[in-house]
């Protein structure tokens, strides 16, 4: 996940040393052309607080006063960080080699929005990051307030907490206390995902960026487990995740067709609610049948539903299979894979999507970087 301020899902490195003192200046530059001064002010303030809270991991590991539980988590994170650069060929810098205690469960809360009868995201454009499909807030109350205003405008809205983000290498991104509450594997996965954003990023294409980072996260985690002598993730767990994602994507596709149809708005509203009911019914059938009653997705499926709530599935999973096919085509060679990804990233948007669509097909032919 990138942060709105500089790149919204990116010892203190050279760029960091240069730019850290200039954060207030950069904020003023951004503010000078903005209609929402308060929004950009909270971004600048939140990022600055994060920078000030960082401590080198190596220093914390040497300190005998460091909490034993924190020490264990930091040691594991350091191992994953080394693996990311040495094996996955992700950037070898100071990101995730510093630590910041947030004192809250998430670093930011992202607000997604769509029109009432559309799955097209409301995008927000920034000087460096380009246009993205969400807005980030460092305080949950601010995110909820922004969401309430959007709902008053008739938009579908969804607010989701984010444990980590990348600044695309503009700063040394820290390990966050919000990340350390997860298990060892999830922590490593987050590091892989966020470093992938630093490795390559295409302006104005959230689906490409997040799907790419998600694939690196998933493949990196598989290799991380193998390197540690652990068994592959259970087939049942993996299958359930894939089935659930497909369930949501199928629902999105039906909604797309509904909104593009000729029904009246009133009829579309009724059909929209019927589709959400169908999604829940199909989920229950899957849960109580093939999954033998496993309720891991109950909280999500039974919470209020909206178009905006379905957005992250498209953003994070749309092209994962395409990147997986590309990785296979280069024989699992990470440098060649990144070269091929960069070639895709240079294409015009329409052509890039067409190539990704071809890759996602089972019969995709090899593409050489």
How confident is the model over 241-257, as pLDDT tens digits?
Answer: 889 989 999 999 999 99
Sheet of 55-56, strand order: 55-56, 98-100, 175-176
Is the pLDDT confidence value at 167 over 90? Answer: no
Which pLDDT score is estimated for 8? 35
Is the pLDDT confidence value at 263 over 50? Answer: yes
Compute and round to an integer the Cα radius of gyration of the chain: 21
In angstroms, rounded to a whole number, what is the distance separating the alpha carbons of residues 216 and 134?
22
Distances (CA, A) of 70 to 104, 187, 264: 16, 13, 57
Return the DSSP state at 126: E
Question: Alpha-carbon torsion 308, 311, 312, 315, what sign?
Answer: negative
In angstroms, rounded to a whole number, what is the distance separating the alpha carbons of residues 345 and 343?
5
Is the pLDDT confidence value at 75 over 50? Answer: yes
Which pLDDT score is estimated for 7? 35
Interval 167-192 mean pLDDT:
88
Is the pLDDT confidence value at 364 over 60? Answer: no
| Closest by CA position to 34, among listed 153, 170, 126 | 126
Is the pLDDT confidence value at 232 over 70? Answer: no
Is the pLDDT confidence value at 35 over 70? Answer: no
Segment 281-310, tens digit of pLDDT: 999 999 999 999 999 999 999 999 999 999
What is the pTM assigned to this prediction?
0.76
| Closest by CA position to 367, among listed 317, 314, 306, 323 | 323
In angstroms, rounded to a whole number, what is the distance separating the alpha carbons of residues 76 and 244?
30
Interval 333-357 mean pLDDT:
97
- State how far Cα 323 lies from the chain centre: 16
What is the share, in percent, of the chain residues with pLDDT greater than 70? 86
| Tokens linked to 66 | 């460091």
DSSP H/E element including 292: none
| Tokens linked to 347 | 């294409």
Other CB atoms within 10 Å distance of the CB of residue 158: 21
Do the beta carbons of residue 84 and residue 227 sit within 8 Å? no
Residues 6+ apart with CB under 8 A from 78: 57, 61, 97
First to last CA, the chain: 26
* pLDDT class of 18 with cuts at 50, 70, 90: very low
Distances (CA, A) of 158 to 43, 123, 368: 19, 14, 39
Which pLDDT score is estimated for 128? 62
Q: Which range has the worst mean pLDDT, 178-187, 261-270, 323-332?
A: 178-187
């Amino acid at each position: 996940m990138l942060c709105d301020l500089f790149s919204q899902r990116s010892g203190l490195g050279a760029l960091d040393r240069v730019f850290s003192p200039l954060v207030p200046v950069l904020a003023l530059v951004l503010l000078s052309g903005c209609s929402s001064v308060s929004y950009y002010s909270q971004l600048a303030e939140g990022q600055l607080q994060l920078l000030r809270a960082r401590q080198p991991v190596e220093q914390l590991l040497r300190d005998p006063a460091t909490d034993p539980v924190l020490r264990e988590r930091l040691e594991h994170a350091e191992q994953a960080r080394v693996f990311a650069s040495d094996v996955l060929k992700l950037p070898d810098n100071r990101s995730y080699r510093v630590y910041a205690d947030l004192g809250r469960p998430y670093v930011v809360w992202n607000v997604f929005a769509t029109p009432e009868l559309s799955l097209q995201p409301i995008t927000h454009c920034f000087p460096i990051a380009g246009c993205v499909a969400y807005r980030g807030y460092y305080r949950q109350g601010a995110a909820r307030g922004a969401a309430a205003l959007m709902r008053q405008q008739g938009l579908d809205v969804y607010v989701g907490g984010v444990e980590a983000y990348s600044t695309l290498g503009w700063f040394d991104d820290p390990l966050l206390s919000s990340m350390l509450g997860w298990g060892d594997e999830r922590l490593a996965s987050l590091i892989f995902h966020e470093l992938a954003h630093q490795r390559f990023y295409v302006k104005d294409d959230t689906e490409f960026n997040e799907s790419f980072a998600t694939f690196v996260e998933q493949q990196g985690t598989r290799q991380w487990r193998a390197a540690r002598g652990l068994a592959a993730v259970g087939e049942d767990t993996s299958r359930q995740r894939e089935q659930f994602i497909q369930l949501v994507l199928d629902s999105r596709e039906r909604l797309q067709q509904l909104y593009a149809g000729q029904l009246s708005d009133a009829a579309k509203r009724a059909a929209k609610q019927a589709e959400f009911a169908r999604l829940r019914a199909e989920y229950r059938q899957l849960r109580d049948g093939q999954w033998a009653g496993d309720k891991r997705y109950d909280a999500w499926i039974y919470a209020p539903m909206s178009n905006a709530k379905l957005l992250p599935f498209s953003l994070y999973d749309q092209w994962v299979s395409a990147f997986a096919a590309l990785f296979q085509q280069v024989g699992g060679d990470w440098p060649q894979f990144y070269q091929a990804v960069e070639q895709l990233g240079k294409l015009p948007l329409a052509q890039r999507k067409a190539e990704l669509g071809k890759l996602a097909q089972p019969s995709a032919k090899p593409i050489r970087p």
